[in-house]
Chains A and B, each alone.
Chain A
């Protein structure tokens, strides 16, 4: 993309302004700075222009103009991506969906809602309060992230073991395809004849098109909850407890594990009264019928004690439940006092391999002299090691990347994945060759080329752009992929 002052660029800007109105076009460099990165702060690249459409027709028109001018474009929601999903590789037009944030329909009889992509996740569930239904996928960032972003990354959160991930709650979608055509996939009914294209598009990280309306499934509220917090000497005790809970035939609604590093940060910040030398704290929640959760809670407490829990706290009121959850929800806030910068990793291992990966992370931390604390969705093996550093120190940055790479590679070795919920984005493209064979990637590339042959839509995301000579993993020399092309 040429600099914003060239004649072609001016024509493009005028065309965009004609679609969305001049006030919905941002191209002042100072204003664009806000959009230079998302939650993945180690890579920055400014788009050439950001536009704020308010309708499907506008989005389609913008895409057509981008095609006409051979300019790349990338959709963006709230920019909470932790993998560089919103990074505008090659510059171009950033299509911000944040002004399309309406709830278009709530249908309780048929149990669905139709929403625009810029709707903040938690707003939907807030709107449903009192109906007996909610929108199940609740990533930790749900106070900021958007449904469209959730759609693009197949977001998870703490409740996925029992309730599934975003794709399990999407019935249909309206998509502006990379060529600017508009298509409706799926719908308010289930089992729509034909391929599950809705399912294919969820998690496609913006590479197959831009969603402009999403039909989501509504989930019946659980009747009751029991929330407990177990304090353990060691992480191994905590993970053994998890294993025993599953072995007892209980599927908890949430199982969140926090290690000593996080616990001490939380204590300093919020004084929950946790022992600072506890190896791990495990937040356990079961939901369901009142009669069922009471039985399950008793079993769980007994299991905790058998594996040597120092103490087990139990919430007896909704307020106490909120308090127990607070320590999990404030975890990332508490990290701020530990270091100026942090990098949240997102890996997955089979649950039974949790002790092993955690031991590996500890060893990694020592090896690279980088402090790592752990908070994660233990129920489904989704780990979030948080690497603490100062981004002004180039050597620390290098060690963070090395440690991250080693951890993710170990996840693969243990039979897991390099991303449980944040997506491949830009950050993990180099891992695709380790997770998938050349044939696997060839099929994915074919699917990509079916709908996005020019790669103008979200270039440089998710798939390695070259087939690669051999499949060797090339360690990154600079933070992440090159952001400027």
Chain B
């Protein structure tokens, strides 16, 4: 596959316009290449668009708590600039030294802190992008409150590079908290964890992360962060941030609240290891190459049930418990595409029965054309296909990626019909 690396947004627009008027190759926007699901179908006639040179800071009025940057900026570079002003984008993004802002937004990447701070749709207030015809267009603006026009920001967050190349973004920011702490709690069963989660709904504390790991995941995470904490049963991780006073107060509160719920161990992670543990939790979705990593979305009340079943199937799971998002790494024993399909089908059905779905984050490039990457058909997909056909009528952007949802010609393809409850 060829690569095109524009030096400016204008150059990028011109290139895409030229492509639209001429060869109409498939275009694959790429940032840090940490979450690419490129697919091999189409091969050499497609072009990778490398956005990493579009990395300038356009405007950073720190007192407004907003920043405008080009989308190819690496997450670490962005956070370093913000840190100088005591601010941050409070979203956990894996492989942040490589990942770009545009890529993170296109994949709607998130991590443990989504419990306390939300996700990209809560932080992107302005966006510029180039459509398949090479038009540079924008939505939103530079201010945190703005309802003029359609919410293009929301349309592009999570659009997986199938509608446009994101070229510039304005973000809302938050202050950097003084300190953070992580608590490691072990339980015997997922049932006990569920009871603890229900108690946490009205906790006096306000944890910013509520993570449940099964033993397989806990082992991976504690190895990764060089912790020596028990990882033989479900682990509940609670993250708190704020002033030292706030953090200490919350730890004590949580200790008292959790004790009656069968906690085997309640341990505050050492200060020297906290950052490493946050990182490990953030990296989990990308830390396995094979065979497949998925993300399930379901009702929080059903997440423990899902985690239980996934555990029985050998999957390592990380649950963002307040939002019902489950990241699962399939075991290496599930080596063939048939086995993977079967395992994912069962878990997808379970997720659907819990009003959710299951999509694939990473898998072998050859499997991507065959596996339902985007999960079971959602009621909104026909509308999604309509927008796609309107804005990218020649199916230029990430053509393979859109395969689940629709093909250029109206057909049902190999979609899995929704079994949603």
Residues of A within 8 A of B (CB): 108-111, 132, 153-154, 156, 160-161, 164-165, 167-168, 183-200, 202-204, 220, 223, 243, 246-247, 249-251, 288-289, 291-292, 295, 348-352, 377, 380-382, 415-424, 428, 431-432, 435-437, 439-444, 446-451, 462-463
Residue picked from B146, B325, B391, most chain A C-beta under 10 Å = B146
Complex contact A190–B383 (CB within 8 A): no
Partner of A291, one of B245, B325, B359, B381: B245
6 closest Cβ pairs, A-B complex:
A199-B154, A249-B175, A420-B145, A417-B146, A132-B202, A191-B297
Q: Which residues in B have their C-beta under 8 angstroms from that of A190?
A: 119, 297, 323-325
B141 on the A face (CB < 8 A): yes
Residue of A nearest to B354 (CB): A189
Residues of chain B having any CB pair with chain A under 8 Å = 61-66, 86, 108, 110, 118-119, 121-122, 131, 135-139, 141-155, 157-159, 163, 174-176, 198, 201-202, 204-206, 242-243, 245-246, 249-250, 295, 297-301, 322-325, 354-357, 359, 374-375, 378-384, 386-387, 390-391, 405, 420
- Which chain A residues lie closer than 8 Å to B145 at the CB level? 156, 160, 165, 348, 377, 380-382, 417, 420-421
Across the interface, do A199 and B155 meet the contact criterion of CB distance under 8 Å? yes
Question: Which A residues touch B391, using CB under 8 A?
Answer: 443, 446-447
Bound: A167/B122 CA distance, A: 9
Residue from B131, B148, B420 within 8 A of A418 (CB atoms): B148
**Is B250 a contact partner of A289 (Cβ separation < 8 A)?**
yes
Q: Which residues of A contact B383 (CB under 8 A)?
A: 183, 185, 197, 450-451
Contact A424 B149 (CB under 8 A): yes
Bound together, the chains give a CA A164 to CA B118 distance in angstroms of: 10
The answer to whether B325 touches A191, judged by C-beta atoms less than 8 angstroms apart, is yes
In the complex, are the beta carbons of B146 and A420 less than 8 A apart?
Answer: yes
A109 to chain B, nearest CB (A): 5
Q: With A and B bound together, what is the CA distance between A171 and B285 in angstroms?
A: 24
A-B contact list, 22 entries, CB within 8 Å: A165-B145, A189-B297, A189-B355, A190-B297, A190-B325, A191-B323, A196-B157, A246-B65, A249-B175, A251-B174, A251-B175, A289-B206, A292-B243, A351-B65, A352-B61, A417-B145, A419-B147, A428-B148, A440-B138, A442-B135, A447-B390, A450-B386
Cα A195 to Cα B383 in complex, Å, equals: 9
Compute how far the CA of A155 lies from the CA of B382 in the bound complex, rounded to whole angstroms.
28
In the bound complex, do residue A416 and residue B108 qualify as a contact, i.e. CB atoms below 8 Å apart? no
User: Provided the pairs A165-B145, A352-B64 are in contact, do residues A197 and B384 lie with their beta carbons within 8 angstroms?
Assistant: yes
Q: How many angstroms from the CA of A431 to the CA of B246 in the assembled complex?
A: 46
Q: In the complex, which of the residues B163, B175, B206 contacts A223, with contact meaning CB atoms closer than 8 Å?
A: B206
CB contact between A446 and one of B141, B245, B324, B390 (< 8 Å): that residue: B390
Residues of B within 8 A of A421 (CB): 145, 147
> Which residue of chain A has the shortest Cβ distance to B404 in the bound complex?
A193
Q: Is the CB of B299 within 8 A of A189?
A: yes
Residues of chain A within 8 A of B65, CB atoms compared? 246, 251, 351
Residue pair A168, B118 in contact (C-beta under 8 Å): yes
Other contacts beyond A190-B325, A191-B110, A428-B148: 9, CB < 8 A: A189-B297, A189-B324, A191-B323, A196-B158, A197-B380, A204-B151, A223-B204, A423-B147, A443-B152
Other-chain residue from B300, B359, B380 in contact with A109 (beta carbon distance below 8 A): B300
| Complex: chain A residue closest to B120, CB-CB | A196
Question: B324 contacts which chain A residues (CB < 8 A)?
Answer: 110, 189-190
A382 to B150, alpha carbons, bound, how many Å?
A: 19
Give the residue among A110, A250, A422, A462 with the most B Cβ atoms within 10 A.
A110
Partner of B300, one of A111, A185, A424: A111
Q: Specify the chain B residue showing the minimal Cβ separation from A201.
A: B151
Bound together, the chains give a CA A198 to CA B354 distance in angstroms of: 20
CA distance in complex: A223, B369 (Å): 50
C-alpha gap A276/B204 in the complex (Å): 42
Residue contact B144 to A462, C-beta cutoff 8 Å: no
Query: Nearest chain-B residue to A423 (Cβ)?
Result: B147
Q: How many A-B residue pairs have CB under 8 A?
A: 251
Please tell me if the beta carbons of A416 and B202 are within 8 angstroms of each other in the complex.
no
Most chain A CB inside 10 Å of its own CB: which residue of B122, B136, B143, B154: B143
Give complex CA distance A197, B383 in Å.
8
Complex CA–CA separation, A419 to B141 (angstroms): 11
Known pairs A435-B148, A443-B131, A444-B149; A189 contacts B154 (CB<8 A): no
- List the B side residues contacting A250 at CB < 8 Å: 175
Shortest CB–CB separation between residue B35 and chain A, in angstroms? 14
Which residues on the B side are within 8 Å of A450 (C-beta)?
383, 386-387, 390
Closest to A436 in B: B149
B205 CB to closest chain A CB, in angstroms?
8
**Which of chain B's residues have a CB closer than 8 A to the CB of A431?**
148
A contact residues around B206 at 8 Å (CB): 220, 223, 288-289
- Chain B residue nearest to A250 in the complex (CB): B175
A195 touches B147 (CB 8 A): no
Judge whether A352 and B63 touch: CB under 8 Å.
Answer: yes
Contact across chains for A110 and B380 when beta carbons are under 8 A apart: no
Q: How far is the CA of A224 from the CA of B200 in the complex (A)?
A: 18
Measured CA separation A443–B129 after assembly (Å): 11
B-side contacts of A220, CB under 8 Å: 206
Check B374–A199 contact: CB distance below 8 A. no
- Which listed residue, B122, B250, B359, touches A164 by the CB 8 Å rule? B122
Question: Across the interface, which residues of A come within 8 angstroms of B119, CB to CB?
Answer: 190-191
Bound CA span A448–B155, Å: 13
Whether A204 contacts B379 in the complex (CB less than 8 A), given A110-B301, A223-B204, comes out as no
Min CB–CB distance A396 → chain B (angstroms): 27
- Pairwise interchain contact B147-A196, C-beta atoms closer than 8 A: no
Q: What is the CB-to-nearest-CB distance from A211 to chain B, in angstroms, rounded to a whole number?
A: 14
A153 touches B202 (CB 8 A): no
- Per a CB cutoff under 8 Å, which of B198, B245, B378 touches A192? B378
Contact indicator A440/B144 (Cβ below 8 Å): no
Report whether B143 and A348 are in contact in the complex, using a CB–CB cutoff of 8 Å. yes
Pairwise interchain contact A432-B149, C-beta atoms closer than 8 A? yes
Instruction: Choose from A167, A185, A422, A437 the contact partner of B151 (Cβ within 8 Å).
Output: A167
In the assembled complex, the CB of B144 is this many whole angstroms from the nearest CB of chain A, namely 5
CB distance from B419 to the nearest CB of A (A): 14
Q: How far is the CA of A292 from the CA of B205 in the complex (A)?
A: 11
**Docked complex Cα distance between A11 and B359 (Å):** 50
